[in-house]
Structure 1
Amino acid sequence: MAVEIVYRSSRDPEQLFMDKAEADRHDKMLELAEALGEVLLKAVPSLSEQQAEEASLFMARRRDIFAKAFKNNADALAALDEEASQKS
């Protein structure tokens, strides 16, 4: 019988990881998404909680692209267009 070590996300218990660092990154992404969701709901009261959650997860998963865009590199957002066109 083999023993396997797995890591569980504290914020997403259904999600299992083989690497602790990967589980930590996932938790931090979810923390960022939660904070973004709260800000979006306050800034745009007409958003539903579901819409705020979807938008905040989208942004948190792509934080590197948004970080570049917020540092006066709006062209970085083109990567999001490419991603969307690949899904279509």
Structure 2
Amino acid sequence: LPLRGIKEKADGNQKQFLQFKAESDTNLACLLKMKENVYTSPDIQNEMIKLMGVAVSRNVVSSFQSFLFLTKMIDETTDISNQEQ
């Protein structure tokens, strides 16, 4: 899911989502109106992605810890030349 547009000034998915959420959140709307420190730079976006990944990983691991048994299913696919991918 691309967060930024092709150009930095273009509205990517993250900026569009924030603008959508700001319609119902006045605090977010005030924050987005600021010209500085809007926390949408590429570095901040990458850090947010990492933090979300850590949160998802922790959630998955914690749900696995409650299982008595696990199973692993492996599948393959081949391309047109019958090579395994």
User: What TM-score, normalized to structure 2?
Assistant: 0.36
Of the two, which has the highest radius of gyration?
A: 2
Of structures 1 and 2, the one with the larger relative CO (CA 8 A, separation 6+) is 1
Structure with the bigger percentage of helix: 1
User: What TM-score, normalized to structure 1?
Assistant: 0.35
